Amino acid sequence: MLLLIWLHEWDSSLPGEDQAVLTAPAIIAKKITARAFSEEDGELQYHLIADNLVQYVHNPLTEMQQPELEMANDKGSWTIVSEQGVVQENGDLIVFSGDVRARNQQQKITLDTQELRFLSETNIASSPGDVDIEFESGRTRAGALEADLDKGILTLEKGVKSEFDAPAS
């Protein structure tokens, strides 16, 4: 009987294992595809693919390698690719980092930056750092950006500089 009580009370973890359990991934996946849908109307909000994905139990985030996000609305479709990505807040926030490139082929716009944050519930993308934007008739450089993708409103800040190609006459 004493042996049973002792075995029941014995903590089987070794010193230092608690930290390993807290930081260990719950899921490691390769070549993943995910889709998010609006709760209001069931419309597709975004389609996300990545080479590698790591999701943790005790930390509510998902890390990705080589993510690619596609989303569309009446302003056209956007594709965002980067070296790394992190999904937070139950999929409502996706942070792209490394060499980030966003493209809208219908509007012929390409955006390059080192970090781009996408809020899926509001369809707002922002970059806290330098942004280079190329469009059909020129280019713009800014120190920060916020874009409402549904309304087509782009707000640029911090040393905005634009160059336009004048039409030939």
Give the tens place of pLDDT for each residue, 90-124: 778 889 999 999 998 888 889 999 999 988 788 88
Residue 135 confidence (pLDDT) above 70 = yes
Q: Provide the pLDDT for residue 16.
A: 57
Contacts 24+ apart (CB under 8 A), 101-106: 102/78, 103/78, 103/79, 104/75, 104/76, 104/77, 104/78, 104/79, 105/76, 105/77, 105/79, 106/75, 106/76, 106/77
Calpha distance 124→142 (Å, rounded): 17
pTM of the model: 0.74
* Virtual torsion, Cα 45, 135, 155, 146, nearest 10 deg: 40
Q: Provide the pLDDT for residue 95.
A: 93
Residue 12 confidence (pLDDT) above 80 = no
Calpha distance 36→48 (Å, rounded): 8
Mapping DSSP to helix (H, G, I), strand (E, B) and coil, where does residue 48 land? Answer: strand
**Among 38-42, 60-64, 144-148, the least confident range:** 38-42
| Six-digit token string for 113 | 């930056």
| More confidently predicted of 131 and 6 | 131
CB-count burial class (<10 Å; 0-12, 13-18, 19+) for 126: middle
Q: Provide the pLDDT for residue 91.
A: 72
| More confidently predicted of 145 and 14 | 145
